[in-house]
């Protein structure tokens, strides 16, 4: 039975209180508080309540004497059946799909034989947000998720996307609950950064230089830049005014006369500076170089942050600074990749959960990741079961069983070398699209084989080749592998990636150089090894991947409210 995740009181216990509770900050009761009871709300018959929501379907009956509306307010997957008589309100305004209604009425038991346990007989229509049925973009017919991406501002009104939103909310709440329960501090890391955590260079640049150049070009069109002759004239005026001041001083003129002449000279100098700057900008635009240049390169010292800046690909490096002072921390926020990928597993903007633990090695890290993933799965089973039932019915019939399996399993742990050996043996009897050999980055098909066929359970693979992992991962004694780990699950493959971090200054510095990265942006990161270094570990969970795993939805664009991917950034 569903439970309110913001309360310790299950909904099925609310029936003991008799009256249905009103929403705290609006003039209505939640439909979930009516239909989420074990009796489907039947015991509430006779109560007068206000509800608000959107019409999923509406139909006039009895030759237009009354109408049935299926109302949903987003609090649960179920709709409340509402009956309205024509003498209460104009029915044609109420029945179109998408209409928003706020009504007051009495809860009544419907006739025997109907699937509803309770319905609302409307006494007053308090407010109506009408819809032009001929223009409403969401028809009553079954809609594909692909179609809904073209009406992203309205797709949350559909059953599937609203269920995803509630599941996403539950997983976010569970994330904070898990880490707060285990003594982690939530740290807000910056979205704008000057360092590349992954070292891949696929980053969105943050700059005002382009907009500044466009403003300059427009300004110079409206107010043309001075000519070279104008500059020389301004220089000549400064010389003349300077000579005038010198003559007054040599003639021992009065203080008032000299002060007045100096003021005129100062004004001439200010004007010269403006003319020279406008002339320089005009020349830059005339030569087609609207962006400031220095030594043939863009001069970022004139940019907003006085240096190159980017949207972050990860909050990990920054959150490590707090782990090295506060021990157990986590960040949970948006990250960005400027990767030209159109696959069903890639987004340009996505969310990451990234804990960092001081005094923790790789084993501690794996223990934390396993406990966290199992906690998320159990949370959905405990607090979001009605939405998971919807997913099992319409999206993926195995999704609930998959959650139960992961929540109750002990994750298998194998080294990367062992994983490759298993895959090489399997490739003798089956064909993988990607060749298996030591040193490769495991593909999704390899990860899914390990979890879905070989072990039929989640798997943690650890100790990867250093050549396929990031510079900050701790180098193992064999000098060939790093203390990295990935949590693999059925359906999506890699769900979590993490490592023990390299705390040795010299090794970390060498790894940065080895990967052809500049040292300067990482000097602050090296400081964490110079000053009071500490063994620490952490991982990142792709939040949208977790939702894919939970729901069985195929495309990652359908589990984030406003998907951003190459060619699309709607709203």
Whether 287 shows a pLDDT value over 60: the answer reads no
Whether 184 shows a pLDDT value over 80: the answer reads yes
213-233 mean pLDDT? 78
Question: What sections of 333-476 are H helices per DSSP?
Answer: 362-383, 385-394, 399-408, 416-426, 444-448
Kindly state the percentage of the chain with pLDDT values over 90: 75
CA distance 410 to 501: 25
CA distance 432 to 494: 17
Query: Between these two residues, 208 and 325, which has the higher pLDDT value?
Result: 325
Burial tier of 317 (Cβ tally within 10 Å: 0-12, 13-18, 19+): buried
Q: Which residues of 480-517 are buried (b: 16+ CB within 10 A; e: fewer)?
A: ebbbbbbbbbbbbbbbbbbbbbbbeeeebbebbeeeeb
Between the CA of residue 148 and those of 166, 395, 559, what are the distances in Å?
18, 15, 12
CA distance 42 to 38: 9
Mean pLDDT in the chain?
A: 91
Selection from 163-177, 203-217, 331-345 with the highest mean pLDDT: 163-177
CA distance 353 to 128: 41
Compute the Cα dihedral for 14, 15, 19, 25 and give only its sign.
positive
DSSP class of residue 21 equals P
pLDDT tens for 335-384 read 999 988 888 889 999 999 999 999 999 999 999 999 999 999 999 999 99
CA distance 2 to 393: 17
Within a 10 A sphere around the Cβ of 374, how many other Cβ atoms?
19
What is the pLDDT, as a whole number, of residue 291?
Answer: 73
Whether 393 shows a pLDDT value over 60: the answer reads yes
* DSSP of 311-362: E-S-SHHHHHHHHHHHSEEEEEEEEE------STT--SEEEEEEEEEET--H
Q: Measured between alpha carbons, how far apart are the two ends of the chain, in Å?
A: 37
Q: What are phi and psi of 534, to 5 degrees?
A: -145, 140
Question: What sections of 223-339 are H helices per DSSP?
Answer: 228-250, 255-286, 316-326
What is the pLDDT, as a whole number, of residue 252?
Answer: 87
3-state secondary structure of 49: strand
CA distance 232 to 223: 19
Between the CA of residue 146 and those of 344, 346, 460, what are the distances in Å?
11, 15, 33
Name, in order, each residue with C-beta under 8 angstroms of 249's C-beta and a sequence gap of 6 or more: 258
86-98 mean pLDDT? 96
Q: CB–CB of 103/125 below 8 Å?
A: yes
92-110 mean pLDDT? 96
Q: Which residues of 404-437 are buried (b: 16+ CB within 10 A; e: fewer)?
A: ebbbebebbbbebeebbebbeebeeeeeeeeebe
Query: Between these two residues, 222 and 147, which has the higher pLDDT value?
Result: 147
Consecutive H or E run containing 175: helix 159-181
Q: CB–CB of 352/538 below 8 Å?
A: no
138-150 mean pLDDT? 90
Q: CB–CB of 468/514 below 8 Å?
A: no
Confidence of residue 208 (pLDDT cuts 50, 70, 90): confident
Q: What are phi and psi of 351, to 5 degrees?
A: -110, 145
Confidence of residue 200 (pLDDT cuts 50, 70, 90): low
pLDDT tens for 14-32 read 444 567 888 889 989 999 9
Q: CB–CB of 374/174 below 8 Å?
A: no
Selection from 111-125, 240-254, 355-369 with the highest mean pLDDT: 355-369
Whether 177 shows a pLDDT value over 90: the answer reads yes
What is the pLDDT, as a whole number, of residue 18?
Answer: 66
Between the CA of residue 5 and those of 330, 381, 399, 547, what are the distances in Å?
21, 12, 21, 18
pLDDT tens for 432-451 read 999 999 999 999 999 999 99
Confidence of residue 9 (pLDDT cuts 50, 70, 90): very low
Q: CB–CB of 331/541 below 8 Å?
A: no
Q: CB–CB of 117/39 below 8 Å?
A: yes
Name, in order, each residue with C-beta under 8 angstroms of 360's C-beta and a sequence gap of 6 or more: 368, 500, 535, 536, 537
Confidence of residue 13 (pLDDT cuts 50, 70, 90): very low
Whether pTM > 0.75 for this model: the answer is yes
Q: CB–CB of 551/399 below 8 Å?
A: yes
């Amino acid at each position: 039975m569903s439970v309110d995740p913001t309360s310790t009181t299950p909904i099925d216990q609310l029936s003991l209180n008799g009256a249905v509770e009103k929403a705290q900050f609006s003039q209505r009761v939640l439909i979930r508080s009516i239909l989420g009871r074990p009796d489907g709300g039947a015991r509430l018959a006779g109560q007068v309540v206000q509800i608000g929501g959107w019409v999923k379907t509406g139909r006039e009956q009895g030759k237009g004497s009354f109408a049935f509306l299926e109302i949903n307010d987003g609090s649960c997957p179920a709709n409340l059946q509402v009956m309205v008589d024509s003498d209460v309100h104009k029915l044609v305004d109420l029945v179109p799909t998408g209409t928003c209604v706020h009504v007051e009425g009495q809860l009544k038991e419907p006739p025997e034989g109907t699937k509803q346990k309770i319905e609302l007989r409307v006494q007053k229509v308090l407010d109506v947000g009408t819809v032009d049925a001929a223009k409403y973009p969401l028809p009553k017919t079954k809609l594909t998720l692909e179609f809904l991406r073209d009406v992203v501002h309205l797709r949350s009104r559909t059953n599937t996307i609203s269920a995803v939103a509630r599941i996403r909310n539950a997983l976010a709440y569970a994330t904070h609950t898990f880490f707060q329960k285990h003594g982690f501090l939530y740290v807000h890391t910056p979205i704008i950064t000057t360092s590349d955590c992954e070292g891949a260079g696929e980053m969105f640049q943050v700059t005002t230089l382009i907009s500044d150049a466009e403003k300059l070009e427009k300004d110079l069109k409206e107010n043309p830049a001075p000519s070279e002759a104008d500059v020389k004239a301004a220089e000549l005026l400064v010389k003349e005014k300077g000579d005038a001041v010198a003559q007054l001083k040599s003639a021992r003129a009065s203080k008032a006369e000299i002060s007045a002449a100096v003021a005129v000279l100062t004004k001439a100098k200010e004007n010269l500076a403006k003319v020279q700057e406008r002339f320089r900008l005009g020349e830059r635009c005339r030569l087609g170089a609207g962006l400031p240049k220095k030594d043939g390169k863009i001069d970022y010292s004139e940019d907003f942050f006085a240096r190159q800046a980017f949207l972050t690909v990860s909050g990990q490096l920054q959150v490590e600074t707090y782990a090295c002072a506060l021990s157990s921390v986590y960040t949970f926020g948006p990250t960005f990749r400027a990767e030209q990928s159109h696959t069903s597993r890639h987004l340009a903007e996505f969310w990451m959960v990234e804990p960092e633990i001081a005094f923790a090695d790789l084993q501690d890290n794996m223990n934390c990741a396993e406990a966290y993933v199992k906690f998320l799965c159990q949370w959905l089973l405990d607090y979001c079961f009605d939405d998971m039932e919807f997913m099992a019915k319409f999206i993926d019939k195995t999704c609930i069983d998959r959650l139960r399996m992961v929540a109750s399993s002990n994750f298998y742990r194998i080294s990367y070398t062992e994983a490759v050996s298993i895959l090489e043996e399997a490739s003798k009897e089956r064909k993988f699209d990607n060749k298996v050999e030591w040193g490769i980055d495991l593909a999704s098909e390899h990860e899914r084989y390990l979890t879905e066929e070989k072990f039929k359970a989640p798997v943690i693979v650890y100790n990867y080749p250093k050549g396929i992992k990031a510079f900050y991962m701790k180098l193992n004694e064999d000098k060939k592998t790093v203390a990295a780990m990935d949590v693999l699950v059925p359906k999506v493959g890699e769900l979590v990636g993490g490592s023990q971090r390299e705390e040795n200054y010299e090794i970390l510095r060498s790894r940065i150089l080895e990967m052809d990265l500049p040292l300067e942006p990482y000097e602050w990161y090296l400081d964490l090894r110079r000053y009071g270094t500490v063994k620490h570990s952490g991982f990142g969970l792709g939040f949208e991947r977790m939702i894919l795993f939970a729901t069985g939805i195929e495309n990652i664009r359908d589990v984030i409210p406003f998907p951003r991917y190459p060619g699309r950034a709607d709203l």
